């Protein structure tokens, strides 16, 4: 078996351990699979935590991370002349994995099921190619950046029951799902640097990356982040959703998740080339969309072999921070002073799964608790069910909405008057589709409450 991703970090896993249970084929990928010790933690459903959304919904022997690992080991232990990719039970088990990364944080062995599934998907794509639906959903935001008029076609599809039905029959796009439309006006600030908005000594420099999802669908969040950082005294070097030639500054997350690894590598090289001078100068890289920003910190090391790694990859992994992580670090380490006006009323927070997987709730909580009189409530829920494009796929939409109905929707219904922060675009879109409620980004809340 020739792996597609770089699994060399697991090279010494199980070395000298006669009970490591490493599968016969797969090399370092097999060692990554073998980190699971079948403790059963992934099958102990509690109110807190993320792991495992599909198992929480429909417990079964093959739907937990440990159950999937068991099937993977069986497949990789087969004689080499047998096709391990042809196992229907394995395909079904991995199809229900939504890549939330809860297991990587909450499992004591740190099983990285999301990346294990990406390798499996890449093996299948290398052999059979990817579906038209997968390509369209991965490339959709990028085409909308290049050809804004395509939004009119999406709006037409959303209005027409007949087009929705055809889309489901031909592409597998769920007719019940409304496709997101870019907001007008979108984020229009250009690439370059922006000076602080206060007359005070320069506090520091940073790079603000407005990824395509944020620029298209959450432009107010991007604009608020830029204004907030400038008002706090930072010089902001802005990386907008696309360059002057309309090539997107995209992380490659969508292509990575569906196994289109060469496409993900192409996006990564383009993004890292634009970031290279800033990262070399030591500027922090601040992002707004968890699924995009955290890709640089985690998956980029596995996206390339050691020989293929583009310049700046290690710097990006070390310097990439979510907005809340950057501000919390500045508070603790560099004496940033934040003064906020009181805010009455309740504020609900639904964090992105990937935020939770890296421990991103602590800095988020630390910042929001600085706002006087705020009634703050973090929603205890697993995945919202959108999970990239999972909630738009005909075969998955029912399960997607059942995931949301487990804890997220009841929490929202219990506080109909509350404002809401959603950690990522997908979470906010799922909430809007199912409840009609709009959500805010962290930067919008902080900017609105920042004292003069």
Backbone angles phi, psi at 321, to 5 degrees: -140, 140
Contact 412, 380 (CB under 8 A): no
Measure the CA–CA gap between 253 and 272, rounded to whole angstroms: 14
Which residue bears the tokens 């002349």? 81
**Residue 389 predicted with pLDDT over 90:** yes
**Residue 170 predicted with pLDDT over 90:** yes
pLDDT in the model for residue 452:
80
List helix spans (H) across 21-131.
Answer: 28-33, 53-57, 65-76, 88-95, 102-106, 113-128
In the sheet with 419-422, reading across from the earlier edge strand, the strands are 375-378, 346-350, 419-422
Q: Each residue of 263-311: pLDDT tens digit?
A: 999 999 999 999 999 999 999 999 999 999 999 999 999 999 888 899 8
pLDDT in the model for residue 186:
87
Task: Please tell me the pTM assigned to this model.
Answer: 0.94
Backbone angles phi, psi at 393, to 5 degrees: -95, 135
Q: Each residue of 184-210: pLDDT tens digit?
A: 888 999 999 999 999 889 999 999 999
Distances 304 to 247, 256, 403 between C-alpha atoms, Å: 21, 12, 33
Exposed/middle/buried for 416, CB within 10 Å: 0-12, 13-18, 19+?
A: exposed
Average pLDDT, rounded, for the chain: 94
Q: Each residue of 91-143: pLDDT tens digit?
A: 999 999 999 999 988 998 999 999 999 999 999 999 999 999 999 999 999 99
Measure the CA–CA gap between 12 and 438, rounded to whole angstroms: 48
**Residue 242 predicted with pLDDT over 80:** yes
Contact 396, 176 (CB under 8 A): no
Per the DSSP assignment, residues forming a β-bridge with 347 are: 376, 419
- Three-state DSSP at 268 gives helix
Write the DSSP string, 293-337: HHHHHTTHHHHS-TTTPPTTHHHHHHHEEEHHHHHHHHHHHS---
273 membership: H or E segment, kind and range: helix 261-280
Both tokens of 104, joined, read: 């990587």
List helix spans (H) across 175-260.
Answer: 212-217, 219-231, 253-257
Exposed/middle/buried for 451, CB within 10 Å: 0-12, 13-18, 19+?
A: exposed
Measure the CA–CA gap between 358 and 423, rounded to whole angstroms: 13
- Three-state DSSP at 140 gives helix
Q: Each residue of 20-51: pLDDT tens digit?
A: 889 988 999 999 999 998 888 898 877 677 88
Average pLDDT over residues 224-235: 97
Which of the two residues, 41 and 329, has the higher pLDDT score? 329
pLDDT in the model for residue 15:
80
Backbone angles phi, psi at 433, to 5 degrees: -65, -40
- DSSP symbol at 403: H
Q: Each residue of 341-386: pLDDT tens digit?
A: 999 999 999 999 999 998 889 999 999 999 999 999 999 999 999 9
- DSSP symbol at 194: E
């Amino acid at each position: 078996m020739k792996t597609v991703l770089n699994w060399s970090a697991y090279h010494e896993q199980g070395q000298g351990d006669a009970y490591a249970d490493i599968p016969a084929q797969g090399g370092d990928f097999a060692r990554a699979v073998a980190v699971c010790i079948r403790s059963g933690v992934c099958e102990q459903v509690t109110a807190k935590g993320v792991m495992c959304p599909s198992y929480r919904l429909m417990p079964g022997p093959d739907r937990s991370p440990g159950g999937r690992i068991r099937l993977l080991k069986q497949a990789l232990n087969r004689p080499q002349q047998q096709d391990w990719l042809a196992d229907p039970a394995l395909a079904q088990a991995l199809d229900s994995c939504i890549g939330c990364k809860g297991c990587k944080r909450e499992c004591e062995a740190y099983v990285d099921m999301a990346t294990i599934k990406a390798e499996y998907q890449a093996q299948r794509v290398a052999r059979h190619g990817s579906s038209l639906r997968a390509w369209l959903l991965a490339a959709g935001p990028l085409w909308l950046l290049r050809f804004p008029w395509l939004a009119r076609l999406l709006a037409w599809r959303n209005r027409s029951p007949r087009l929705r039905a055809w889309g489901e029959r031909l592409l597998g796009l769920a007719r019940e799902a409304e496709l997101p439309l870019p907001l007008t006006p979108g984020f229009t600030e250009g690439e370059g640097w922006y000076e602080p908005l206060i007359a005070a000594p320069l506090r520091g420099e940073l790079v603000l990356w407005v990824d395509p999802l944020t620029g298209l669908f959450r432009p107010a969040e991007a604009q608020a982040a830029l204004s907030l950082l400038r008002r706090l005294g930072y010089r902001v070097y802005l990386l907008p959703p696309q360059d002057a030639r309309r090539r997107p500054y995209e992380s490659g997350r969508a292509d990575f998740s569906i196994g289109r690894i060469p496409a993900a590598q192409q996006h990564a090289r383009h993004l890292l080339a634009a970031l290279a001078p800033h990262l070399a100068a030591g500027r922090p890289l601040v992002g707004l969309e968890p699924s995009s920003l955290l890709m640089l910190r985690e998956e980029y090391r596995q996206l390339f072999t050691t020989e293929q790694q583009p310049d700046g990859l290690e710097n990006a992994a070390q310097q990439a921070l979510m907005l809340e992580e950057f501000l919390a670090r500045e508070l603790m380490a560099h004496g940033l002073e934040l003064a906020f006006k009181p805010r009455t009323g309740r504020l609900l927070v639904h964090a992105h799964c990937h935020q939770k997987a890296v421990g991103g709730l602590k800095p988020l909580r630390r910042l929001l608790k600085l706002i006087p009189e705020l009634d703050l409530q973090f929603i205890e829920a697993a995945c919202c069910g959108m999970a990239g494009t999972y909630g738009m796929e005909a075969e998955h939409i029912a399960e997607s909405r059942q995931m949301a109905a487990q804890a997220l929707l009841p929490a929202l219904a219990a506080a109909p008057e509350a404002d809401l922060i959603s950690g990522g675009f997908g979470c906010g879109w799922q909430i809007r589709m199912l409840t009609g409620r709009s959500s805010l980004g962290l930067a919008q809340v902080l900017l609105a409450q920042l004292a003069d």
